[in-house]
Amino acid sequence: MLKAFEELMPTVAGSAYVDETAVVIGDVVIGEDSSVWPITAIRGDVNIIRIGNSTNIQDGSVLHGSHASEFNPNGAELHIGDQVTVGHKVLLHGCRIGNLCLIGMGSIVMDNAIVGDQVIVGSGSLVTPGKELESGYMYLGSPARKVRALTEREKESLAYTANYYVSLKNKYKTPV
C-alpha cells in the first residue's frame, strides 16, 4: 500500500514491484527494477528514504529515519544504493548503504552508519550508530566487526542475487 503523509506521496518507478501487503508512506523514492516484499514497512514520515535501482527489500523489513532535532540537527536520512539485497526482517534506520551490498537476515543498521560498496553484513549483525563499514569486506556480530575481505566469488554473488530478485519481481508483475 502506498500512502501519503503530509501531502508527500511515495514515488515508485514503473518497473519496480511493491507487494500489496507492504506499506510505503511519505517521502520515499523506489528506483527502477527494485522490489519490496510482503509485510515490509517503509516510513518516510520524519525524513527521506531513497532506494536505488535493482534493490530488493525482503519480507518483514522495517525502514525509517530520524527527525531533525536539537540533538541531531539534520536528523538521519536513509539511502540505499543500487543492487542491494536487504534480507528478511532487517531494520535499517537513518543509515547509508552503498551499492552491491547484502544486509543479512535479522540485521540492524542504525543512524548515521555508513556501509560502503560491496559489503556483506552477516545475518543478525548490529551496525551501531555512526559506524563506517569499509568497502569490500564481510562484517559479523553484535556489534558488527570486520571479519575478512570478500572473495571475488562473493563479490560476484552480490550482483547475481540482486539480478535474481529483478527476475523474480518480474514474475510477480506478469499477469496470470
DSSP 3-state assignment of 45?
strand
For the segment 10-25, what is each residue's pLDDT rounded down to a tens digit? 999 999 999 999 999 9
Cis, peptide link before residue 129, omega less than 30° from 0: no
Domain count, the chain: 1
Share of the chain above pLDDT 70, in %: 99
Quote the pTM value. Answer: 0.97
For the segment 80-99, what is each residue's pLDDT rounded down to a tens digit? 999 999 999 999 999 999 99
Short-list 49, 52, 62, 53, CA closest to 22: 62
The number of helix segments (H) and strand segments (E) in the chain equals: 1, 20
Question: Residue 16 is part of which domain span?
Answer: 2-66+74-173
Q: What would you report as the CA-atom Rg of the chain, rounded to the nearest whole angstrom?
A: 15
Contact 6, 26 (CB under 8 A): yes
Question: Is the pLDDT score of 175 beyond 80?
Answer: no
For the segment 26-67, what is each residue's pLDDT rounded down to a tens digit? 999 999 999 999 999 999 999 999 999 999 999 999 999 999
Tell me how far CA of residue 86 lies from CA of 6, 63, 79, 132, 174, in angstroms.
Answer: 28, 10, 13, 18, 23
Cα separation, 84 vs 74, in Å, equals 25
For the segment 104-124, what is each residue's pLDDT rounded down to a tens digit? 999 999 999 999 999 999 999
CATH number of 59's domain: 2.160.10.10
For the segment 135-154, what is each residue's pLDDT rounded down to a tens digit? 999 999 999 999 999 999 99
Instruction: State residue 72's pLDDT score.
Output: 87
Cα separation, 46 vs 160, in Å, equals 34
Question: Is the pLDDT score of 3 beyond 70?
Answer: yes
Tell me how far CA of residue 53 lies from CA of 20, 25, 83, in angstroms.
Answer: 20, 19, 6
Tell me the mean pLDDT in the region 146-173.
Answer: 97
Contact 92, 106 (CB under 8 A): no
